[in-house]
Structure 1
């Protein structure tokens, strides 16, 4: 994967997405796909994430975000393209 093929997206997921394992399921899915970045809860009830990877993998990850784990009820996913920062892996971060 060369840096020229890598894109970045900033994602906010709304709905019943906290207290249902959404962050950890996101991290597991991202790692399985080879996506780099992070995920965390927001104080307003949303989940926020940065994903970096090839466009096809990012598309798969975003599709997953619309569903989430079985216990989640996703109502909205907002996606914005961002400049990549070359994260080394994928991590679950503290709530902001």
Structure 2
């Protein structure tokens, strides 16, 4: 589970990313989840756009993508979804430490 500070850090990293996947009329499917999972292993942070013709609710799409890829939902803003999953072999992003109270 990501802290608020970590989510803010990841949102700032994702700001300049271009979306590499699009969810369209077909909605979320297994091949798409597999491809996004592979991209997360390489990049750790991905941005996905939900097209206007997608018939599913954007929140349901974002949750289905996060659950299917076992990733953290960093942000859902407009029709953009940002997912984060730490890579097993290709660690690139160092998250800020959670502060102790």
- Indicate the structure with greater helix content: 2
Q: TM exceeds 0.5?
A: no
Q: Which entry has the higher C-alpha Rg, 1 or 2?
A: 2
**Bigger relative contact order, structure 1 or 2 (CA pairs below 8 A, ≥6 apart):** 1
- Indicate the structure with greater strand content: 1
Q: TM-score, normalised by structure 1?
A: 0.34
Q: TM-score, normalised by structure 2?
A: 0.33
